[in-house]
Amino acid sequence: MEKQTMIENLGIHFLEVGKGKIVATMPVDERTIQPFGYLHGGASVALAETVASYGAAQLIDLEKEVCFGLEINANHIRAKQSGQVIATAEVLHQGKSTMVWDVKIRNEEDKLICVSRCTIAIMPKK
């Protein structure tokens, strides 16, 4: 499912895929940094929406439904220049047509890099 997608292009790797919780890593390298050499805020947001959407997909009937990011916000707390970041997404609200996910992105020392909240829309497949 990840081949030839942003997931593959950004080097996102899933460590834990469960019902209501997702953990994934993303490298801080030439694919994810901005011109000054720091992790790009947009890469953090892409990681946050990826883990939230992937988590939502675990909670729906993929034969009948599809999920999309509806709204996302992010607060960038700390800069990072190398290594990797670890995102943990947990479902806060699981409704029939929307879900709300809390995402925390941390460095290898468990220090907070970014916090995000993502609302996911659940739609019937056409």
Q: Which domain CATH number covers 56?
A: 3.10.129.10
Averaged pLDDT, 40-53: 98
85, part of any domain: yes
49, part of any domain: yes
Sequence-distant (≥ 6) Cβ neighbours of residue 37 within 8 angstroms: 81
Residue 101 CB: number of other CB atoms within 10 A?
Answer: 28
Pick from 111, 70, 125, 62: nearest CA to 93: 70
The catalytically annotated residue of 2, 16, 30, 49 is 49
Query: Do residues 58 and 19 lie in contact, with contact meaning Cβ atoms separated by under 8 Å?
Result: yes
Q: What's the CA gap between 92 and 100, in Å, rounded?
A: 5
Share of the chain above pLDDT 90, in %: 96
Residue linked to tokens 């996102």: 12
Query: Do residues 99 and 116 lie in contact, with contact meaning Cβ atoms separated by under 8 Å?
Result: no
pLDDT band at 1 (very low <50, low <70, confident <90, very high): low
Interior CA angle at 37 toward 42 and 9, to 5°?
50
Q: What's the CA gap between 58 and 20, in Å, rounded?
A: 8
Q: Which domain holds residue 45?
A: 6-124
Averaged pLDDT, 24-42: 98
Q: Is position 49 annotated as part of the catalytic site?
A: yes
Per the structure, the count of domains in the chain is: 1
Q: What's the CA gap between 20 and 22, in Å, rounded?
A: 7
Q: What is the pLDDT of residues 47-104, one digit of tens each?
A: 999 999 999 999 999 999 999 999 999 999 999 999 999 999 999 999 999 999 999 9
1, part of any domain: no
65, part of any domain: yes
